[in-house]
Structure 1
Amino acid sequence: MSISKKTWLLIIAFFCVYVFWGSTFLWNKMAVKELPPFFLASIRFTSAGLLVFAISIATRKSLAITRKQLLNCTLAGFLFLAYGNGVFVWALKWVDTGFASLLASLQPLIILLMMRVIQRKKLQWKSMVGVTLGIIGMYLLVSQKDIISKEGMVIGILMILSCLIAWCSGSLFVAKADLPKNFFVATAYQMIAAGVILVIASLCFQEPWKSPLVWQDNTQIAIICLILFGSIAAFTSFNYLLKHVSPEKVTTSSFVNPVIAILLGWYFLEESISLQTGIAALLLLTGVYFINSRKRDKPVVVAKTKV
């Protein structure tokens, strides 16, 4: 029995969202070993944004944008990419990729709590179970003395948590914001805006800039992968899936991405995985499952939580 074209596209799209987004933790970690974080993130999003613009022009999509939409794209770009990603990459200087990916998996929990506080949304029983498991898993994860005692680990964890709050704030903002109708075009504007903000941040922090011609081979490979696979292929696949399958199926990436990140960090970077980390991971991902499996009046899908 032959597989239809749509089925193949769905398989490829899920592969991109699962594997490519799960791999961004490794690629960022590889690149930040040589390049300063804001400079690294600015190169990634400026390049990806220009490529998306080029694709939009080639496919004859309208790039028209109002002043309000441009301001909204700039704010979204700041929350999602400039701060949410730029500071996350900075934190990877001290935090292992697997550990960081588990912290990132807390996002559904944080956005649920923010919706409870800001929008007064009632918590369903599955949500309460998910929140409880998530808090316990978070405690087990960050209470490991051998991990917390590492230099810069505490500040790295706090930086990642602040990034999660930025991502969730951006998600709630974008849900109601006036943006260009074409999501591909809106994403390009957000990437370019974030790239400009990150360049300014890099200059303010006096980060040393290096020509791509003198980057190490691993760094060049990591940047290319981040631009082509992490930013363009995965995000395009994400939006394709949102149009063709249920949001609940798309959010299964919340369970798969940390597993991919942990395995890649263990294999390529020789990052250790303790028993307590494994238990914490199980609790966190189970909590995310309960949160994502709750009944929704209007599904909220966080679109840009990957690094």
Structure 2
Amino acid sequence: MSVSRKTVLIILAFFAIYIIWGSTYMLNKIAVSQLPPFFLASVRFIIASIIIFIIAKSLKVSLSVTKKQLTNCTIAGFLFLTLGNGLAVLALKYIDSGFAALEISAQPLVVLIMMRLLHGKRIALMSYIGVVLGFIGIFLLVSQKQIITQEGQILGMILIFVCMLSWAYASIFAGRADLPKNHFVNTGYQMLTGGIMLGIISLLLNESWSLPNSWQTDVKWSMLGLIIFGSIIAFTAFNYLLKEVSPEKVATSTYVNPIIALILGWWVLNEHISLQSIIAAVVLLTGVYFINTKRVLKPRPIGR
């Protein structure tokens, strides 16, 4: 492969993890306006897992896993997708997509604190500064009167916080668990098991299931974007970048995604961006930068 072609691929891959991952908040917001949240997430991940398995087989990748690996994939799928993504989509019924993305950008802060509490991991000085800035940013974000006085906003914020706890614990678990070495196989089984559990919850909650021919056009396009671009293309780009560039550069999506989500929410969905939200974003993302300075937290494609 020539250098010029490789450079183009790297640029396209960064575009994928910056723009596509940042747009998933908007796409989920559009889709959940008509579809029940757990049904939506279940359909997305089950279909995406099937496509991933087809791609893996076409590349002659073995789909065989041990019983232990399948169990761990199921646990990770539950934490990342069933609990994490499912509740995030539910939260979008109550809060703006840009607001959700900003709150979720504090995930490295939650991971750092959880690792300290569960494993006694020492926190570096720069990370302490990041923790303080992170808490200030979150306070500025969630304390806005025009937000907390709106119906359902507090519930939405709590749901996002539970998602962050789930993703944080899942990130720690996945880093230590015996999982399939191949990224396609690992993600495929997590999406399949997580999607099935989402479907079971949807049935237990008596959500209304429907066929795509009854969906509105914008919902169809949103679902297609979530499956093809959000779950497959961006994930492939993510793994390609991990092999071609440093993890620190890949982790920059942590800062870019919420900004993209804010802009798309404002431009496409007419979501309001207050000055306090902008200030909170700057403070919060600066805190995340300080946390990532000493300890690189790779962005997780699973929960997107």
Residue 134 of structure 2: aligned partner: 134
1:171–1:302 contact (8 Å) kept in structure 2: no
- With structure 1 as the length reference, what TM-score do the two structures score? 0.96
Unpaired runs of at least 5, structure 1: none
Q: Encode CA deviations 1:158-177: one digit per residue, 9 max, x unaligned.
A: 00000011011111001111
1:24–1:306 contact (8 Å) kept in structure 2: no
Q: Compute the displacement of 1:303 (Å).
A: 1.7
Distance 1:138 1:58 in 2: 45
**Which of 271, 277, 298 pairs up with 1:301?**
298
Residue 238 of structure 2: aligned partner: 238
Residue 186 of structure 1: aligned partner: 186
Distance 1:54 1:195 in 2: 17
Q: Compute the displacement of 1:9 (Å).
A: 1.3
Q: Compute the displacement of 1:6 (Å).
A: 1.6
Distance 1:31 1:212 in 2: 12
1:184 counterpart letter in structure 2: F
Distance 1:258 1:33 in 2: 21
Residue 85 of structure 2: aligned partner: 85
Residue 250 of structure 1: aligned partner: 250
Residue 100 of structure 1: aligned partner: 100
Q: Encode CA deviations 1:75-102: one digit per residue, 9 max, x unaligned.
A: 0001111111011000000010110000
Q: Encode CA deviations 1:117-149: one digit per residue, 9 max, x unaligned.
A: 111111111101111000001001111111011
Q: Encode CA deviations 1:238-269: one digit per residue, 9 max, x unaligned.
A: 11111221111111001100110000000111
1:80–1:304 contact (8 Å) kept in structure 2: no
Distance 1:212 1:129 in 2: 48
Residue 14 of structure 2: aligned partner: 14
Size of the alignment, in residue pairs?
A: 303
Q: Compute the displacement of 1:180 (Å).
A: 1.2
Residue 283 of structure 1: aligned partner: 283
Distance 1:301 1:165 in 2: 16
Distance 2:205 2:71 in 1: 24
Residue 270 of structure 1: aligned partner: 270
Are the structure 2 counterparts of residues 233 and 268 from structure 1 closer, same or farther at C-alpha, using a change threshold of 3 Å? Answer: same
Distance 2:103 2:84 in 1: 13
Are the structure 2 counterparts of residues 300 and 267 from structure 1 closer, same or farther at C-alpha, using a change threshold of 3 Å? Answer: closer
Distance 1:168 1:55 in 2: 29
Q: Compute the displacement of 1:306 (Å).
A: 4.6
Distance 2:175 2:283 in 1: 29
Distance 1:117 1:129 in 2: 18
Q: Which runs of 4+ in 1 moved over 4 A?
A: none
Q: Encode CA deviations 1:57-116: one digit per residue, 9 max, x unaligned.
A: 111000011111111000000111111101100000001011000001000111011111
Please say if 1:227 is aligned against 2:224: no
State the secondary structure of the residue aligned to 2:121.
coil
Distance 2:227 2:40 in 1: 11
1:86 counterpart letter in structure 2: G
Q: Which range moves more in the overlay, 55-64 or 234-243? A: 234-243
State the secondary structure of the residue aligned to 1:151.
coil
1:77–1:191 contact (8 Å) kept in structure 2: yes
Distance 1:302 1:60 in 2: 27
Unpaired runs of at least 5, structure 2: none
- With structure 2 as the length reference, what TM-score do the two structures score? 0.97
2:254–2:299 contact (8 Å) kept in structure 1: no
Distance 1:290 1:200 in 2: 40
1:93 counterpart letter in structure 2: K
Q: Summarize the alignment of residues 41-56 of structure 1 with structure 2, pairs less than 5 Å apart.
A: 41-56=41-56
Q: Summarize the alignment of residues 21-60 of structure 1 with structure 2, pairs less than 5 Å apart.
A: 21-60=21-60
Distance 1:211 1:187 in 2: 26
2:236 counterpart letter in structure 1: T
Q: Which range moves more in the overlay, 243-252 or 93-102? A: 243-252
Q: Compute the displacement of 1:236 (Å).
A: 1.1
Distance 2:246 2:118 in 1: 26
Distance 1:138 1:303 in 2: 21
State the secondary structure of the residue aligned to 2:206.
coil
Q: Compute the displacement of 1:301 (Å).
A: 2.2
